Structure 1
Amino acid sequence: MTGPAADPVPPPPGGVLWTLAGDIRGLLMLPAALTLQVAHPVVGAGVDEHSVFRTDPWGRGERSLRSLQLWVYGGEAAAEEGRRLRALHKTIQGTDAHGRRYHALEPAYYSWVHATGFPVYQHALRYLARPLTEAQERKLYAEWLQVGRILGIHDRDMPQTIEEFWPYYRKVLADELEATVVVRELIATDPAIPPPDRGPLVLTVLLRAAWPVLLPAFARFRRFMTIGLMPPDAREAIGLEWTDEQERRLRAFARVVRAVVPVLPERLRYLPLAREARRAARISRSDRPVR
């Protein structure tokens, strides 16, 4: 007789994702990954019909960010979060813009949502940090597969090596992606985004008062970072324009980010859940007996 299968475990302390996932620079990468996800018509339809990203964008963003952090830093809570997400997606189904019936947990679609994180990390790190070495890239991909198992993605539904990943990725770009309704909303410069409703009361009140002035600048910056940090082949597949002048501005902005973020204290450089997990890991290592 065999017992129940053990829960999948998150990547270990000291891995590539342990360093990357909680770094505040990840906040700049997330819009590109999300936009690449919803450029798939099925994923875009699911978000269009079932997500609260229009009515509660800040709450949705906060919940998504916490979920992502749990996959890497959550320890035993990581598998529970994976089960919660699968349960949440069980009822998400409908018809996309091409008349195809879909279910959110269909392996091809569910896996694509997860797969997008790897090429965005690989591309964006060249700007915001430093390019990954070949060894780091392979380790990152292996850890990304590990996170996929937490989300309930079977190995058979994801390419298992980098050599297998890139042909899969390019095929999706060539055969599936388009500028869906949700893509166009995410890169719009005149979006109807409500003001932030989280954080200290005084700050929330000030943001609400200044939001008519701040929103246009926020929308332009979001569009700039979304398109700029998206891999060029994905950008081209979706039909998003990117000029040489924009590329120069992105490189100038990235130079500032690379100079500033590494010298920040950890309490400012890492998001709260990541910061606590990293502190706990250091304490655990310091408590080990000397051999």
Structure 2
Amino acid sequence: MTEAPDHPAPPPPGGVLWSLTGDVRALLMLPSAFVLQVAHPAVGAGVDEHSVFRTDPWGRAERSLRSLQLWVYGGEAAAEEGRRLRRAHRAIRGTDAHGRSYHALDPAVYAWVHATGFPVHRHAARYLVRPMTEEQERRFYAEWLQVGRILGIRDRDMPQTVEEFWPYYRKVLADEVEATAVVRELLATDVPLPPPDRGPLPLRLLLRPLWPLLWPRFARFRAFVAVGFLPPEAREAIGLEWSDAQERRLRLLARVVRAVVPALPERLRYLPRAREARRAHRLSRAGRPAR
């Protein structure tokens, strides 16, 4: 196994991540990945003690999404973003709920945060896009490993094949994850959320007076998709309930999303950085400079 290179390249244009990560449907997958991350006691403790997810949830979400988009579409900026994240996590340390010391850059903990994206996106894509073929799944995992190298994760700290990943994943589910305090808080539907402070000013002004009515519905929807798009084995390991009625509602939502999103124009279907990268890639293939 090799060390992560100093200047790892982002995943290739046209790959699985290139198509999946910039699609607006990915926004429905991210809450599940965050829940699975913080279900690890060390990650949950780090987020509980050091994150601004309570005081600045919209800003945190925006920064996380911007970072994720850079890993895939950032070109030369991807590696610098990975280095920035490692610098930002150096001071994150403390003691978890079981009295155990943790550090955000502990290789096993740091690798788990990244690893969660693979099973969550694979599972959610079955609902929101289409099930991956075996070849697509292998390509997706190889590209996810490449993103891990951008983040500074060494090859020896991550399973290098899909076949090696599943035993590792099941072992962490069996031995580590639990309904941490942060998991419970993220899925709570009675904890008030501040009104959005990101996005176009007219939209924020419109939402502000309506927010007392909207935030409980938003909180319920967020909790619903966060639990719903978790792989069933992850829900079971954390101890989250999921009923047949909820599953039927999730499938109905997914059918609507699958029908609507592919019909959207590109400016609405893809997130801004993804749109820019896709346009630049088309122009480069045509031999024309991007403006």
What is the TM-score of this pair, normalised by structure 2?
0.96
Q: 5 Å matches for 1:1-291?
A: 6-287=6-287
1:61-102 Cα deviation digits (max 9, x unpaired): 000000000000000000000000000000000000000101
Contact 2:192 2:216 in 1 (8 A): no
Change (3 A) 1:6 1:102: closer
- Deviation at 1:6? 4.9
SS of structure 1 residue aligned to 2:165: helix
Please list every run of at least 4 consecutive aligned residues from structure 1 whose deviation after the TM superposition is greater than 4 angstroms: none
The amino acid across from 2:179 in the alignment is A
Which ranges of structure 2 fall in alignment gaps of 5 or more residues?
A: none
SS of structure 1 residue aligned to 2:24: coil
* In 2: Cα distance, 1:206 partner to 1:26 partner: 26
The amino acid across from 1:47 in the alignment is V
* In 2: Cα distance, 1:221 partner to 1:123 partner: 19
* In 2: Cα distance, 1:26 partner to 1:191 partner: 25
How many residue pairs get matched? 284
Contact 2:9 2:150 in 1 (8 A): yes
The amino acid across from 1:250 in the alignment is L
* In 2: Cα distance, 1:111 partner to 1:238 partner: 19
Which ranges of structure 1 fall in alignment gaps of 5 or more residues?
A: none
- Deviation at 1:192? 2.3
* In 1: Cα distance, 2:145 partner to 2:137 partner: 12
SS of structure 2 residue aligned to 1:262: helix
* In 2: Cα distance, 1:202 partner to 1:286 partner: 38
* In 1: Cα distance, 2:14 partner to 2:206 partner: 40
Q: Cα RMSD (Å) of the superposition? A: 0.8
* In 2: Cα distance, 1:149 partner to 1:119 partner: 18
* In 1: Cα distance, 2:41 partner to 2:104 partner: 12
The amino acid across from 1:18 in the alignment is W
* In 2: Cα distance, 1:92 partner to 1:267 partner: 38
SS of structure 2 residue aligned to 1:14: coil
* In 2: Cα distance, 1:195 partner to 1:6 partner: 41
SS of structure 2 residue aligned to 1:25: helix
What is the TM-score of this pair, normalised by structure 1?
0.96
- Deviation at 1:263? 1.2
The amino acid across from 2:104 in the alignment is A
* In 1: Cα distance, 2:37 partner to 2:183 partner: 9
Identity among equivalent positions (%) equals: 78
- Deviation at 1:200? 2.0
SS of structure 2 residue aligned to 1:94: strand
